[in-house]
Amino acid sequence: MEKNIVEHVNCLIIGSGPAGYTAGIYASRAGLNPVLYQGIQPGGQLTITTEVENYPGYPDGIQGPEMMTHFEKQAARMGTDIRFGLATAVDFTTHPLKVQIDEEKWISANTVIISTGASAKWLGTPGEERLNGFGVSACAVCDGFFFKGKEVAIVGAGDTAAEEALYLSKLCTTVHMFVRKNEMRASVVMQERVLKQPNIKIYWNTEAEEILGDKKVEAVRIVNNISGEQDTIPVSAFFVAIGHEPNSGIFKGWLDMDDTGYIKTVPGTSKTNVEGVFASGDVQDKIYRQAVTAAGSGCMAALDAERFLGHKGLH
């Protein structure tokens, strides 16, 4: 593949959620003159959430899109060159590193910070997209608090679903848990905890057919996939816990990843297996997946990049 390099930058940041913008803030203050490409979803997953109440510094809470606008403005004020555009390929064979933007131009960079995030997997059930942010959520830790004292539903069968069901059971009166098969994939200990929790009601061999409600979630219609029997359960929220998919496709073959595609970093750092390439946020974190932890890892990536450039005599 011929690469016509049109520009060289000191620090290239790919992605624009809390991790990417925080990396931009720190890299700018360190004089790295970062260039940030926002990707396909400027602002990341927070742009499809409503109220955020668990990010420090916002005592009255804040809407997710508004918070990301604040992050962007701060990164720009510090000097980050923020651009529209999507990274579509990379070549990490030699230094400087090379990244293709929008399948056309190539940029070379002394350092690359990957903050491309992860995308929640969705069911594709009718009503799911329409009511996303209005009772439909892929993060119980983020949004469960808004449904304190209410009845909610959750779908999933793995450890994440079990953890989120247990979390919701502490807040909500009843958690209706739908499992597609007659068994769960979660670890034995997590299954035992779920089964022992009296306000978690498990529906085996059950799928959600439609999420009902006008302007917010009001009920879910389910079907037993063996008997075909249908039922409608009134709920105030519907949580999808069938996993996340890291947005790491273009780095396959270049960076070490786990078996689900999350980029591996050296513990306690943002360093990848390629010198000068750093990963931050949800693309390398499948455990916490919070805005505040993503921002923290964006800070780490910028500091790691600054030290790398210092050691190489490039800063």
Cα–Cα distances in angstroms (integers) from residue 67 to residues 18, 21, 55, 250, in the given order: 9, 11, 10, 28
Q: Is 143 a catalytic residue?
A: yes
Q: Measured on CA atoms in the order 153, 159, 160, 162, is the torsion positive or negative?
A: positive
- Which residue type is seen at 216? K
Name the CA radius of gyration of the chain, rounded: 21
Which entry of 81, 91, 139, 159 is annotated as an active-site residue? 139
Which entry of 142, 172, 285, 304 is annotated as an active-site residue? 142
Q: Is 139 a catalytic residue?
A: yes
Contact by Cβ (8 Å): 199, 172:
yes
Q: How many other CB atoms are found less than 10 A from the CB of residue 260?
A: 12
Which entry of 11, 81, 102, 143 is annotated as an active-site residue? 143
What DSSP designation does 188 have? Answer: H
Burial class (CB in 10 A: 0-12, 13-18, 19+), 310: exposed
| In the block, residue with structure tokens 């249908």 | 230
Cα–Cα distances in angstroms (integers) from residue 252 to residues 124, 150, 247, 305, in the given order: 27, 43, 10, 21
Contact by Cβ (8 Å): 238, 134:
no
Listed residue (97, 132, 136) closest to 114, CA to CA: 97
Which residues lie below 8 Å from residue 300, measured CB to CB, with a gap of 6+?
Answer: 269, 270, 280
CA 210 to chain CA mean position, Å = 25
Residues with catalytic function: 139, 142-143
